[in-house]
Structure 1
């Protein structure tokens, strides 16, 4: 293998390493964002469930029968 070919392969390898590092950083950032969004969704679901129960109880208790 001649020296120019070896240099070319080393340059390609260096670029691939950089690309992998950048992609890894992006994957890590996306995973952190997904985790935050999942937490927010869980909190919203819990709040919605709590609100739904309260509204249902209030509606049934305060409802006037149709014959009045």
Structure 2
């Protein structure tokens, strides 16, 4: 072996450092995905509520508009 070649101990240390960084990255990504998933679920619930409100508003408008289409009572 030459002096410039890394020893087994050095290689092992470098691999352990890489694994530690990769583990931290995986944990960070998992936390980000979990936060995004919670946000998506909250937004989905909000969209459902808004769709219900729009449907209720459309129904109220159509019910309120129905008497306008009737002829006046003096006919």
The alignment of Structure 1 onto Structure 2 pairs a total of residues equal to: 66
Q: In the alignment, which residue of structure 2 is the partner of 1:11?
A: 17
Corresponding residue number in structure 1 for 2:47: 41
The separation in 1 between residues aligned to 2:65 and 2:37, in whole angstroms, is: 41
Please report how far the alpha carbon of residue 21 of structure 1 lies from its aligned counterpart in structure 2 after TM superposition.
0.2
**What's the counterpart of residue 53 of structure 1?**
59
- Offset at residue 61 of structure 1 (A): 1.6
Rg: which structure is higher? Answer: 2
- Greater share of helix residues, 1 or 2? 1
TM-score of the aligned structures, taking structure 1 as reference length: 0.88
TM-score by length of 2: 0.80
Structure 2: gaps spanning 5 or more residues:
1-6
What's the RMSD between the two structures over aligned residues?
1.7
* Structure 1: gaps of 5 or more residues: none
